[in-house]
């Protein structure tokens, strides 16, 4: 299926919410498609009590997601937003919990 999507330029998103640490044909879960998504809700393999992670090798997409997750603030001297967005980042404490869980 991925080969067909790549042939026709279709972007693929892999739901790896319950697959952290798993592999498929030698490749880590979350790296099979163009974008991989992991959930860190309380009932998942790794938990931060909410939130998740997105992985991609496409630097432009990563920047876009990072901008969107940080309220899409423009690079200006004043607080300006030329597009709608929100604050989807974890708080520092929960992010630290997640980093600790990744180590195990």
- pLDDT given at position 23: 93
CB atoms within 10 A of CB 65: 15
Task: Give the residue numbers spanning the domain of 85.
Answer: 2-103
Q: How far apart are CA 38 and CA 43, in angstroms?
A: 12
4-52 pLDDT tens trace: 999 999 999 999 988 888 999 999 999 999 999 988 777 777 777 777 7
Q: How many domains does the chain have?
A: 1
Tell me what pLDDT residue 1 has: 81
Strands (E), 1-104: 13-15, 23-24, 27-28, 35-39, 52-56
User: pLDDT band for position 91 (50/70/90)?
Assistant: confident
CATH number at 64 reads: 3.40.640.10
pLDDT at residue number 73: 67
Q: In this structure, how many other beta carbons lie within 10 angstroms of the beta carbon of residue 44?
A: 15
- Where is 65: in which H helix or E strand? helix 59-69
């Amino acid at each position: 299926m991925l080969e067909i999507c790549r042939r026709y330029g279709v972007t693929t998103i892999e739901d790896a919410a319950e697959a952290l640490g798993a592999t498929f044909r030698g490749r880590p879960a979350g790296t099979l498609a163009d974008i991989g998504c992991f959930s860190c809700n309380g009932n998942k393999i790794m938990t931060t009590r909410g939130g998740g992670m997105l992985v991609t090798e496409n630097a432009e997409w990563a920047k876009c997601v990072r901008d969107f997750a940080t309220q899409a603030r423009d690079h200006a001297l004043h607080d300006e937003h030329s597009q709608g967005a929100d604050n989807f980042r974890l708080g520092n404490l929960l992010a630290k919990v997640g980093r600790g869980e990744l180590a195990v």
